Structure 1
Amino acid sequence: MQTELEPLSRRYDVVVANPPYMGSKNMNKWLGDWVKKHYKDVKGDLFSCFMTRNVGMGTEHAQLGFMTPYVWMFIGTYEKLRKFVIQQNTITSLIQLEYSGFSGATVPICTFTLQKGYCPGYRGGYVRLSDFAGADQQAPRALEALADADCGWFYRADAEGFGAIPGSPIAYWATDHFIDNCREGSSVSSYACFTGSQNITADNAKYVRFSWEVSLGDCSEQGTWVPYAKGGDFRRWFGNIDSVVNWSTPARSFYAANKTSNLLDNSLWYSEGITYTDITSGKSHFRYLPSGCVFDKAGPSIVCFNLPLWGVLGLFNSSTAQYYFDIFNPTLHLQTRDVKAMPIKAAVNEDERIQKLVVENVRLSQLDWDSFECSKGFKRHPLF
């Protein structure tokens, strides 16, 4: 490498480094404390610390190139890093590789170049290879994009638009219409109360059962056991509530007092609303949460609507919402902040036709759910 860089060093200051990737959870105490002290805004991983350090080492208009995990582009942990990149510097180019972009490894990688300093209106070049599986696809598709800007996976974007999107993700493929909606629309959190916390028993083996393991008469707001939304497999509109949680006074006292537990705020007990699964297989799925239930962190829920519940449920299960969620956070974890950020228009969700369709979808999904023994509402199989 020294041989290749020596000619450049006659005219430029050249630095090449191979910084480690290490999340904060894997740092020892000394390193963790040092990073928190000196790089508190980017302390999530050593690679993010090195990014800011390298920019600081550069002179005015310095050109910097990186290969890092692409988690910094989307997840909440790195929001301050994204703002530093797009507000104080300029992304000149970026290639986002597919998960299996390297032979023998499955890692979320991107490679990109920055210019130190902010250049207003600069439209960087972006190549999205995430739709092309396999290491053998990456280099040919990247070269094809560089040769043909109309290939469909090459994009030009002004990073200023990223700042208009909640969380400032590096969503270079977002349309101008999408960005305008984020600038002008009201978020769904303006109309609905999102739960700030979920119930955590800290001992599910003791406090959580399947609904068929307890007496049906003891499973209600007045009984020991209460239906418990815990996320579950892909399913829309209704279902996946096949667990119950011990809601007796001693159990709730344990949740409130134990350091690793959490007791759901009593204003949210038994509330009607919408629940969903926070870990997805790629597509989000929202379901009606009947009154009389509580929920845990794997099944976060939304209650207290100032809009028709059915309209909001219809929006969340639409292809439009999926497009927004894919931009807010294109990972397998659908965070509450991503759901809260959805721009919404009240008029759309007051449409009676939409509400009737959603109600019918919920009814049919409930019939299907109640056709099997895992449902508390099961009476007999529909074939009998």
Structure 2
Amino acid sequence: MRAELEPLGRSYDVVVANPPYMGAKNMNKWLSGWVKDSYPDVKGDLFSCFMVRNSGMGSEHAQMGFMTPYVWMFIGTYEKLRRFVIEQNTITSLIQLEYSGFAGATVPICTFTLEKGKAEGYKGGYIRLSGFPGADQQAPRALEALADPACGWFYRRDADTFKQIPGSPIAYWVSQALISSFGKGIELDNISDYTGSQNITADNELYLRRWWEPSNSGNRWIPYSKGGNFRRWFGNHEYVVDWSEQAKYFYKNNSTSNLLNERYWFQEGITYSDITSGRSHFRFLPAQGVFDKKGPEICMLGKNLFSILAFLNSSVCQQYLYLLNPSMTLQVVDVKKLPLLKQIFDSPIINGLTKGNINLSCSDWDSFEISWDFKRNPLV
């Protein structure tokens, strides 16, 4: 590699390195402390620290190329890094690979180039390969996009546009109309009680059961929302959690567990599964139990509950969520940013259709033996 770089080094400052990939939770005590002190705004992973460090080594207008996990483009942990990239540098090009973009590996990778310094109004080139599964398609489709920008997966975007979206995700493929709608709606966070609070048992083998396992004598076991498979409107009521005084004492006082704030106990609301297969799915949750991180709940929606549930299960909402975070983990912070239009609130038509969908989904759920309201198979 040195021989290839020497000609460039005669005229330019050249730095080539293999960026480290290590999340904060895997760092030892010394490394974790050093990263927090040296790179407090980008401490989530060593690769993000490397991006900032590499930028600091270059002169004004330095050209930088990176290949990193593309999580920095979307999730809340890297919002300050995105601001750094957008406000102090210029994204000149970016290719977002498909999950299986490399043979033998399934990893979320992007490759991109930056110019140090802000070039106002510059529209970088972006190629989105997420719609082409398999490593064998990535290079040919990228070359096709470069040869024909009208192909449908090549985009031009001024990075300042991203600042119009909450959290500034690098959502280069989104229309300006969709981006502008964030300024017209009311954030879900402003009309709900949705803090991301959760119950953590720290010992599911001891404190968690399928609902048919315990006798529930003395109301010790209560329903527990814990995500589950793809299902909208109603269902996935399979678990119960130990809610005895002894168990709650453990959740509250054990160092690795957490007792859900009492204000969220037995609240009617909307729940969902935080791990998705690409499509989000929201469900009505009766006021009968509590929830954990895998099945968080949006509470205190009042008369707007059914209209909001309808919006959350709409194709429009799916576009918003994919804009905010296209990964397989649907984070609380992303759902809280969703914009809602006042026109949908307290609509008799929307409420009626939503309640009808809930009833249909409930009847379907009760036709399976895993439902606690199962009576008989409808085919019998």
Fold match by TM threshold 0.5: yes
* Matching residue within 358, 361, 379 for 2:357: 361
Do structure 1's residue 120 and structure 2's residue 116 form an aligned pair?
no
Cα separation, 1, equivalents of 2:103 and 2:292: 39
Cα separation, 2, equivalents of 1:260 and 1:245: 17
TM-score (norm 1): 0.95
Relative to structure 1, the CA distance from residue 80 to residue 307 in structure 2 (aligned partners, 3 Å threshold; closer, same or farther) is farther
Cα separation, 2, equivalents of 1:137 and 1:223: 56
Residue of structure 2 equivalent to 1:229: 225
Aligned residues: 380
Structure 1 runs, 4 residues or longer, greater than 6 Å off = none
Please tell me the residue identity of whatever aligns with 2:161: G
Identity of aligned residues (%): 63
- Secondary structure at the residue paired with 2:367? coil
Cα separation, 2, equivalents of 1:255 and 1:30: 30
Residue of structure 1 equivalent to 2:344: 348
Cα separation, 2, equivalents of 1:195 and 1:294: 14
Please tell me the residue identity of whatever aligns with 2:221: W
Relative to structure 1, the CA distance from residue 83 to residue 374 in structure 2 (aligned partners, 3 Å threshold; closer, same or farther) is same
Cα separation, 2, equivalents of 1:257 and 1:15: 50
Residue of structure 1 equivalent to 2:194: 194
Render the CA deviation track for 1:61-106: whole Å, top value 9, x for unaligned: 1111111111111112111111100011110100111122122222
Residue of structure 1 equivalent to 2:97: 97
Q: What are the within-5 Å matches in structure 2 for residues 1-384 of structure 1?
A: 1-215=1-215, 218=217, 223-306=219-302, 308-384=304-380
Cα separation, 1, equivalents of 2:183 and 2:116: 27
Cα separation, 2, equivalents of 1:104 and 1:380: 47
- Secondary structure at the residue paired with 1:101? coil
Render the CA deviation track for 1:291-329: whole Å, top value 9, x for unaligned: 122111111001101552111101111111111111111
- Secondary structure at the residue paired with 2:36? helix
Moved more, 125-134 or 178-187: 178-187
Please tell me the residue identity of whatever aligns with 2:373: G
Please tell me the residue identity of whatever aligns with 1:171: A
Please tell me the residue identity of whatever aligns with 1:296: D
List gaps (5 residues or longer) in structure 1. Answer: none
Cα separation, 2, equivalents of 1:258 and 1:25: 20
Cα separation, 2, equivalents of 1:228 and 1:106: 32
Relative to structure 1, the CA distance from residue 306 to residue 87 in structure 2 (aligned partners, 3 Å threshold; closer, same or farther) is farther
The Cα of 1:124 is off from its aligned counterpart by 0.7
Render the CA deviation track for 1:320-376: whole Å, top value 9, x for unaligned: 111111111111100011111100012123322121111111001000111122111
Cα separation, 2, equivalents of 1:355 and 1:233: 25
Cα separation, 2, equivalents of 1:224 and 1:98: 47
